[in-house]
Amino acid sequence: MIDADVLRAMAAAGASIEVIIAAVEADAAKEQARRDAKRENNAERQRRFKAKRKGKTPSNAGNALPGVTPPNDIYSNPPVSSDEETTAAPKSKSPAKPEGVSAQTWADFQSHRKAIKAPASETALAAIQREATAAGWTMEAALAEVVARGWRGFKAEWVRDSTGPPGKPAEPASFLAHLVEKDRQRQQVSPA
C-alpha cells in the first residue's frame, strides 16, 4: 500500500490528482490480487488437509512440484503379490471359559486381565492350568486367587506355603511344621 509520504512527494513533484488516484488504484488492485492469491492458496491447503484426513490423499499432495510422483525406492512398501498377504490377520478372540469355572469368576478374570493390559490367551490359561494342577488347586480357585491378589499369572510355588486353595481347610500339623521349618532356616542364614 502506498504510504502518505509517497503521495506527498508525488504532489510536491507536480503530479496531477488523476495520476495520484491512478497510482493509488493500481496499488489497491495489486494488494487485492495478493490477498486473493493467499486465500486461494489457503483454500487449496485446507482441501488437501481434509482429503488426507479422510484417507483420500491426492497423488501429488505432498510433493513440492505438481504432477511429480516420487520414485519407488527402498523406503516405500513393496507391491503385494497375493490375496493372502492383503488380508489382515483376524484379531484374536478371548479364549472360551474353561470347564469348572463359574461365569462370575471368568468375567472377573477377563476384566482383571484387561485392566492390567494382559489379554487372556490360550497360552496364559494353559500355564495357569498347569501350575494350578501342580499346586493341587482347581482352575476356579486359581483364577479367583489371580484376581484377588492382582497377579498376572499363577505359580504353584506362590501358594505352596499358604493354607491351601480357598474352601479347603488347612491341616494344622503341616502348617505348624512349615512354620518350624521356616524359623529353622531363618536361624541358619543369620547367625545371632
Query: Tens digits of per-residue pLDDT, 18-52?
Result: 888 888 888 888 888 889 999 999 989 988 888 88
Confidence of residue 170 (pLDDT cuts 50, 70, 90): very low
Distance between CA atoms of 55 and 69, rounded to whole angstroms?
18
pLDDT for 191 equals 60
Question: Residue 66 corresponds to which cell in the numbers above?
Answer: 505438481
Q: Sorting pLDDT into bands at 50, 70 and 90, what band is 104? A: very high
% residues pLDDT > 90 (the chain): 7
> Does the structure show a pLDDT above 50 at 167?
no
Residues 97/140, Cβ–Cβ less than 8 Å: no
Instruction: Give the single-character DSSP code of 152.
Output: S
Residue extents of the structural domains in the chain: 1-62, 103-167
Query: Cell numbers 499358604 label which residue?
Result: 162
pLDDT of residue 7: 76
pLDDT of residue 169: 45
Assess whether pLDDT exceeds 60 at residue 153.
yes
Q: How far does the chain reach from its first CA to its final CA, in angstroms? A: 95
Mean pLDDT calculated for residue range 87-93: 60
Q: What is the mean pLDDT of the chain?
A: 77
pLDDT score recorded for residue 97: 85
Q: Is the pLDDT of residue 162 over 80?
A: no
Answer with the residue of higher pLDDT: 192 or 93. 93
